[in-house]
Amino acid sequence: MELCSIDWLPEPDVVMARSKAAAAADLLLSPDADLRQFQCKTNWADGITMASRHDGGGSYYFVVQSGDTIAIKACLLRSSLSPDSLARFQRNPTVEMPDLAVRLINEPEFRYQELSFLAWSEKGGPWQGLKFRVDGNLSEDMGKPLLELICVGPKAFYVYGMTYHEVKIDPPSLKDLFKLAPMDEVLANAIAPEADFASARAGLEAIGYPLA
């Protein structure tokens, strides 16, 4: 493995803001946590915010942020680096990575036996990642399909809302949400008319979404 530049991800602050917005919208649209694809916890561990998406078909990603370091791991269904190759790299890393990225490929919480894509940014700098091949594909491109929402923003979540939740979300309200406009009952009901804002407040606070 070697290092490579990742030029298609937005700035780190945008990645986390969109992760929080997606988790907040999914919470409002689905009171049942088991049916949500997007999750975010500001206090997942000491000083660490963790966001994730599991698409229900076996593909997933994790985003973790601590201070000015952020890292992303993704795995596409049946497109992981071989377990033997990954195990060798875990035992003897051939590149220098921040601690957060190391955690993503070594800890059980992050499914350490699978890897299709890994990237990180430190101090707001450019994204770097691991370069390797999976089924003939370059790893730096493997995350694009699953990370589309992080790259595109509200337009991608609008499509997700129609295909997964079978609802059409008000586009201006969705744009406000992805700008992290403070959440109140009006915005919550514009995103999900049947949402119980009072019941959702605690979940929104855990996500780290700002409340009015």
Report pLDDT digits (tens) over 118-128: 999 999 999 99
What's the sign of the alpha-carbon dihedral 171, 175, 180, 183?
A: negative
Comparing 153 with 82, the larger pLDDT belongs to: 153
Question: Nearest-CA neighbor of 146 among 57, 39, 20, 31?
Answer: 57
What pLDDT, on a 0 to 100 scale, did the predictor assign at position 203?
95
Domain ranges of the chain: 2-152
What pLDDT, on a 0 to 100 scale, did the predictor assign at position 131?
83
What average pLDDT does the segment 35-52 reach? 93
Assess contact for 173 and 157: CB atoms under 8 A. no
What pLDDT, on a 0 to 100 scale, did the predictor assign at position 182?
97
What average pLDDT does the segment 157-164 reach? 94
10 Å CB burial of residue 93 (0-12, 13-18, 19+) is middle
